[in-house]
Amino acid sequence: MSQEDAPGTVRLAKLIAARGVASRREAEKAIEEGRVKVNGAIVRGPTAVDPVRDEIRVDGRRLPREPERVYYLAYKPRGCITTRDDPQGRPTIFDMLPEVPERVEPVGRLDFDTEGALLLTNDGELAHRLAHPSSEVPKRYRVKVFKRPSESNLEAIRTGKVFLEDGAIAPAKIRVVEETDSHNTWLEITVTEGRNRLVRRIFQQLHHPVSKLRRESFATLSIRGMERGQLRRLTNEEIRRIQDIAAGRKPAAAGRVRRKKGFALPKPKGRVQARKKLQRPWAKKKDA
At 94, the amino acid letter reads F
Is residue 236 within 8 A of residue 71, CB to CB? The reply is no
Where b means 16+ CB within 10 Å and e means fewer, 204-219 reads eebebebeebbbbbbb
Is residue 105 within 8 A of residue 99, CB to CB? The reply is no
Q: What is the CA radius of gyration of the chain?
A: 26
Q: Give the contacts of 118 (CB within 8 A, at least 6 positions apart).
A: 73, 74, 75, 76, 82, 93, 106, 107, 108, 110, 215, 218
Between the alpha carbon of residue 73 and those of residues 2, 110, 218, 221, 254, the distances in Å are 39, 13, 9, 8, 18
Strand spans (E) along 65-138: 71-76, 105-106, 115-121
**Of 145, 136, 129, which is closest to residue 214 (Cα–Cα)?**
145
Q: Is 59 a catalytic residue?
A: no
**Of 115, 111, 118, 156, which is closest to residue 137 (Cα–Cα)?**
118
Query: Which residues pair with residue 144 across a beta bridge?
Result: 186, 212
Among residues 50, 111, 123, 181, the one annotated as catalytic is: 111
Is residue 135 within 8 A of residue 248, CB to CB? The reply is yes
- Which residues are marked as active site? 111
